Chain A
Amino acid sequence: MDLEKAAQLIESEYQFLSQVHPQWSLTAGPQDMELVAHALRVILHLGKAGESLPEYQALVKAQHSDGGWGRESAEQESAAWVSAFCGLMLIRANAILKNPEIEQSIWKSLDYFLKFQKADGRWVDSEWGDLDTTSHPVSFFNVVMALGTQKMKDAVRSSWRKGLRFILQGQSEDGGWYDPVFQPSGVETTAHLVQDSVIASLVLPDGLPVRPACEKGMLWILRHQDPDGSWDEKNVDHTMDCTRSTLLICRMLGAQEKARPAVEKAMEWIVANKNDSGWPDFPGMETNLERTCDGLDVLLKYQAWRQADPLDVVRRWGYTPGEPTLLRGVEAGVER
């Protein structure tokens, strides 16, 4: 895909997202918290967190006393999946904002996950499968291990490892992760879990067997791509998930040439199936703002993937690795 075209799309789609700001911002009123978190991720990746403090303060204000967030900002009950996404957005933004109120909120969020983890390492959420639910706190803790204070790292380390172990043990022989209740096809679950696993491997001090799991996961994703470049019967959400995962994993495994045709075909499909403004859940449907945020996120990650520095794409997952944290055994793929 032409990088200039990607840049133009990012600009025009972000302009659209800004125009509909009252539809996703907590500063404008009650919102769907998944949408809020998706939009805040776009703000982060566009480098606009520093000028968006009120958005993050509103997120802090919407936090419940138990440290979690509801699926809707007005909902009283906390939910694990969206709470992890919110906590993740706060810790990533606060690497820039350095706001004490936000730091306190991050601590509350950590306490929520430490309190509600099950003995075998999983987290549960009635609206998501256990594997998918668990991948989100693990993803949050990945970034805590990278960007958090030493005290935060010490607090989550054991829980994070247990969560990651639960994920790795849930991988099937064929490389996919399946959820018999929510995602028997395995497409979305595999895309979510493989990216969280590979990021975890960057910060693991003593290494769980993550590399073979990620290699198998990436091959599974590539095998399941449809000939037109999409995944899961033209499912825009799942195609974006699989594309993002492939961008990250192939770069970290040094397998970008192997994955390039799949990535380019997927990007072509994603761009071809965009509405005039924003993306739909399926081609031809109305624009969905959450999907629009995903579309922007894919374009931003693709931009990073095309850069010479292999760590650029890793940074789009909120992780800025330093010298001692190279992916064990994958130094050929990620060098610094």
Chain B
Amino acid sequence: MMDEQCRVVGNCADLPPGQSLLVTVDGKEVALFNVEGRLYAIGNRCPHRSGPLVRGRVEMVSETHSPNEGPEILAVRCPIHGWLFELATGRCLTRPNASTPAFPATCRGGEILVGP
């Protein structure tokens, strides 16, 4: 739910579909992704070796991240060692015990809002 705790972090025009954007919220790096008009926000640094997730590729993968196996999940792949993170939750699909924080994000009135 987006509320008054949300921060304006940029202009929607800076994040067209298919693009990603790095912003800082309360001193922390947040990676924003626009996937077909829907925004996702997760912590930018991979918990493995701090790879910048904002530079990662967005992919549709299965739960087991094998092709043609089970329901597909929208995920970003860390560009350093390939760990996968579910964009909606920040859950790591490569290592079950790892994750990156996920935040609500939306585009409203031409501004990008990121929640706590």
Could you tell me which A residues sit within 8 Å of B by CB distance? 34, 126-129, 179-185, 232-233, 235, 237, 281-282, 285, 288, 290
Known A180-B66, A181-B66, A281-B52; judge A126-B95 contact (CB<8 A): yes
Task: List 10 A-B pairs, minimum CB-CB distance, nearest first.
Answer: A182-B82, A183-B82, A282-B55, A235-B79, A181-B65, A282-B52, A237-B80, A281-B80, A281-B52, A285-B52
A127 x B81 contact (CB < 8 A) = yes
A-B contact count (CB 8 A): 42
Cα-based distance from A183 to B48 in the complex (angstroms): 15
Interface of B toward A, CB cutoff 8 Å: 48-52, 55, 57, 59, 65-67, 77, 79-83, 94-95
Contact B82 A179 (CB under 8 A): yes
Show 21 residue pairs from A and B whose CB-CB distance is below 8 angstroms, ordered by the A residue.
A34-B49, A127-B48, A127-B81, A127-B95, A128-B81, A129-B82, A180-B65, A180-B66, A181-B66, A183-B82, A184-B59, A184-B77, A185-B57, A232-B79, A233-B55, A233-B79, A281-B50, A281-B52, A281-B79, A282-B55, A285-B52
In the bound complex, residues from chain A placing their C-beta under 8 Å from that of B48 are 127
Residues of A with C-beta under 8 A to B57: 185
Q: How far is the CB of B19 from chain A (nearest CB, A)?
A: 13
A281 to B55, CA, bound (A): 10
**Given A127-B95, A181-B94, A281 contacting B51 (CB threshold 8 A):** yes
> How near does chain B come to A31, taking the closest CB pair, in angstroms?
14
Interface pair B81/A182, CB less than 8 Å apart? yes
Q: How far is the CB of A210 from chain B (nearest CB, A)?
A: 26
List residues of chain B with CB within 8 A of the CB of A282.
52, 55, 79
- Residue numbers in B under 8 Å from A285 (CB-CB): 52
Determine the chain B residues whose CB is within 8 A of the CB of A181 once the complex forms. 65-66, 82, 94
A138–B92 CA distance with the chains assembled, in angstroms: 29
Bound complex: CA of A127 vs CA of B96, how far in Å? Answer: 12
Contacts of B83 in A (CB 8 A): 182
Apart from A182-B82, A281-B79, what 5 extra A-B contacts exist at CB < 8 Å? Answer: A126-B95, A127-B48, A181-B65, A182-B83, A182-B94
* Chain A hits for B55, CB < 8 A: 233, 235, 282
Task: Give the residue of A128, A180, A182, A233 whose beta carbon is less than 8 angstroms from that of B67.
Answer: A180
